[in-house]
């Protein structure tokens, strides 16, 4: 649910205007940023099973350290705690905690029942929205539109970089999302891991975008 998690980060900017979009995206995507690393190290496992859902061909057979409810709660506490210690921003820390936890909640909506409650749990959660392509497009696409709208209304560009870097960011995410829906399954789990590691690029991009945008309203002198 790439664009759904990005939507949370975009929308969270309104709740935590002092917190960088990069940090919010890092929090909202934290589980999926860690997962390919754990996958490459052999700590978690996935199989490629074309047709297992209408949207994703991935069968997540083991990912207790990144996608169990208890693990995500722990990661949320760690990231929020670190942010509070280094940034002294209680509101931002609370929003970061919520962004990390939102990942599991959104995944529960779309995944098959494959999300463990805790490492070693035999009980799995998942409502299976990915079994419906139309439903997935409506929910994930709708969330993304709302997130883009909120961030666009909450911030304004400081110049052309802030405007076009953001617009390109949105366009690239949409293209990647659509390509994942209509393209062939990944050729190997190694390719899946590398694609996931590439997602860190979007976090860096988000930091860059936020440096060139502001939540402050223009003064009357700035308006012609």
pLDDT cut 70: percent of the chain above it: 97
The average confidence (pLDDT) of the chain is 95
Confidence of residue 2 (pLDDT cuts 50, 70, 90): confident
> Which ranges in the chain belong to alpha helices (H)?
2-15, 21-28, 30-40, 64-67, 69-87, 90-110, 133-154, 160-182, 189-198, 200-211
| 223, part of any domain | no
Alpha-carbon gap, residue 132 to 129, rounded angstroms: 6
Alpha-carbon gap, residue 54 to 136, rounded angstroms: 9
| pLDDT at position 183 over 60 | yes
**pLDDT tens readout for residues 44-75:** 999 999 999 999 999 999 999 999 999 999 99
| 219, part of any domain | no
3-state secondary structure 55-112: CCCEEEEECHHHHCHHHHHHHHHHHHHHHHHHHCCHHHHHHHHHHHHHHHHHHHHHCC
**pLDDT tens readout for residues 110-130:** 999 999 999 999 999 999 999
| 112, part of any domain | yes
| 75, part of any domain | yes
Q: What is the number of structural domains in the chain?
A: 1
Range of the domain at 93: 2-214
Beta partners for residue 47, in sequence order? 59
Q: What is the pLDDT of residue 27?
A: 98
Confidence of residue 219 (pLDDT cuts 50, 70, 90): low
Q: What is the pLDDT of residue 224?
A: 42
Contact present, 16 and 155 (Cβ < 8 Å): no
């Amino acid at each position: 649910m790439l664009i759904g998690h990005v939507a949370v980060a975009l929308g969270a900017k309104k709740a935590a205007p002092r917190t960088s979009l990069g940090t919010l995206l890092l929090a909202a995507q934290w589980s999926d940023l860690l997962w390919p690393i754990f996958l490459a190290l052999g700590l978690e496992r996935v199989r490629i099973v074309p047709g297992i859902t209408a949207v994703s061909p991935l069968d997540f057979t083991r990912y207790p350290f990144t996608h169990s409810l208890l693990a995500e709660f722990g990661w949320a506490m760690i990231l929020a705690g670190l942010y509070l210690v280094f940034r002294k921003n209680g509101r931002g820390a609370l929003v970061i905690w919520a962004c990390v936890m939102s990942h599991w909640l959104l995944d529960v909506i779309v995944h098959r029942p494959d999300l463990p409650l805790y490492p070693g749990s035999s009980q799995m959660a998942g409502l299976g929205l990915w079994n419906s392509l139309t439903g997935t497009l409506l929910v994930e696409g709708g969330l993304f539109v709302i997130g883009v709208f909120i961030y666009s209304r909450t911030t304004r560009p400081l110049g052309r970089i802030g405007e076009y870097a953001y617009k390109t960011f949105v366009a690239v995410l949409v293209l990647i999302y659509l390509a994942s829906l209509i393209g062939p399954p990944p050729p190997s789990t190694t390719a899946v891991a590398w694609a996931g590691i590439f997602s860190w690029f979007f976090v860096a991009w988000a930091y860059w975008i936020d440096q060139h945008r502001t939540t402050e309203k223009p003064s009357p002198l700035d308006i012609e």
